[in-house]
Amino acid sequence: MESDTRDDVVVVGGGVIGLTTAVVLAERGRRVRLWTRDPVERTTSAVAGALWWPYRIRPVARARAWALRSLDVYATLAERPASTGVRMVEGVLGETGLDEVDGWATARLPGLRAATAGEYAGAGLWARLPLIDMSAHLPWLRERLLAAGGTVEHRTVSALADVAAPVVVNCTGLGARALVPDETVRPVRGQLVVVTDPGIRTWLVSTDASGAMAYLFPQPGRLILGGTAEEDVWSRVPDPAVAEAIVRRCAGLRPEIAGARVLEHRVGLRPARESVRLEREYLSDGRPLVHNYGHGGAGITVAWGCAEEAAGLVGNGAG
């Protein structure tokens, strides 16, 4: 029993970062319990689009390394899209040039090239990237964790020091603002509109001259339209005017969207921070506490790279 306790790790936070970290730890032989306030289907990660790309995340060099490691994993998972929710899909990154990615992505993304005028009215990159259906991927991660011997418990944590485990891993995202506490973690509100898919097979990300963003991600049975990036806005209530503007911008890019039927409105608060906090410290009683939060809108992009680094910190700290 003592050896079981020594290997006990509690991961706090049930979004994609927490789930992936828990999976990596469990598959490395640790006894892992995942504590999540909400069912994984109702976490911020469940709202995501979710396209692989290191978007607005720092530190840049580490984020690229985490992203490329995650790319390797997603490429493998895409061989089983029906179960994992991961597919490799082509599309255009608007307002992005080859010079912005040369040297870190070109060698790892076969077929990456400048978009043609017929593909996009402006400068853009044509790329084949992982596109993840979070409604399938998050439950798949949960089942993979359970299969590795981990457990999932719905619990609310008011203080990390109160978590009864030899090692604690903090993957609480925006919750870290109050829990750590870390006031540098801020919400960036994202609103999406889910519509019937009029037959669109490629994704598109675009930014107009005013800085307004539009993106469309085809997922099984639906098309996800976005989006917004409102800093320091806490409301989770969909704004009808914002939804109309999202549909209008996306229809300006693909006219067939104008007639699509609205299925759902979504709002998520991205856990933004000046840079990701991925490091180990110690609680007042000497127990290791590993932080893995502050990924903004790029949590899915870096999840596996960050999870492996966090697991390494746990391994070094619990011995």
Model pLDDT for residues 270-309, shown as the tens digit of each residue: 999 999 999 999 999 999 999 999 999 999 999 999 999 9
Helical axes 299-318 vs 16-27, angle rounded to 10°: 40
Is there a domain that residue 292 lies in? yes
Per the structure block, which two tokens stand in for 306?
């960050």
Cα–Cα distances in Å, from 79 out to 26, 47, 289, 303?
A: 23, 24, 35, 19
Q: Is residue 3 over pLDDT 50?
A: no
Which residues pair with residue 114 across a beta bridge?
125
Q: What pLDDT, on a 0 to 100 scale, did the predictor assign at position 201?
A: 97
Average pLDDT over residues 205-215: 93
What pLDDT is stored for residue 317 in this prediction? 44
Which pLDDT belongs to residue 88?
97
Distance between alpha carbon 188 and the CA centroid of its chain, in Å?
13
33 occurs within a structural domain: yes
> Is position 137 within any domain?
yes
Tell me the pLDDT band of 316, cut-offs 50, 70 and 90. low
d(CA 124, CA 272): 26
Residues 6+ apart with CB under 8 A from 241: none
Instruction: State the Cα–Cα distance between residues 217 and 133, nearest whole angstrom.
Output: 10
- Percent of all residues in the chain with a pLDDT value above 70, rounded to a whole number: 96
Q: How far is CA 203 from CA 87, 121, 235, in A?
A: 12, 15, 27
Within-domain flag for 254: no
Q: Is residue 46 part of a domain?
A: yes
Range of the domain at 283: 1-85+133-185+273-319
Q: Provide the edge-to-edge strand list for the sheet that holds 8-12.
A: 151-154, 31-36, 8-12, 167-170, 288-293, 277-282
First vs last Cα of the chain: how many Å apart?
A: 16
pLDDT at position 7, please? 62
What pLDDT band is residue 128 in, cutting at 50, 70 and 90?
A: very high
CATH code of the domain in which 76 resides: 3.40.50.720
Residue 172 maps to a domain: yes
Q: Write the pLDDT tens digit of every residue in 55-107.
A: 889 999 999 999 999 999 999 999 999 999 999 999 999 999 888 887 788 88
Determine the Cα–Cα distance for residues 32 and 150; give it in Å rounded to an integer.
5
Alpha-carbon distance 59 to 258, whole Å?
39
Cα within 13 Å of Cα(303), Cβ side: 27
From 157, 115, 133, select the one nearest 51 (Cα to Cα): 133
Q: Is residue 214 part of a domain?
A: no
Using CA atoms, how far residue 2 sits from 8, 94, 123, 273, in Å, is 10, 55, 60, 38
Residue 266 within any structural domain of the chain: no
Of the candidates 278, 283, 319, 266, the one whose C-alpha atom is nearest the C-alpha of residue 21 is: 278
Q: How many domains does the chain fold into?
A: 1
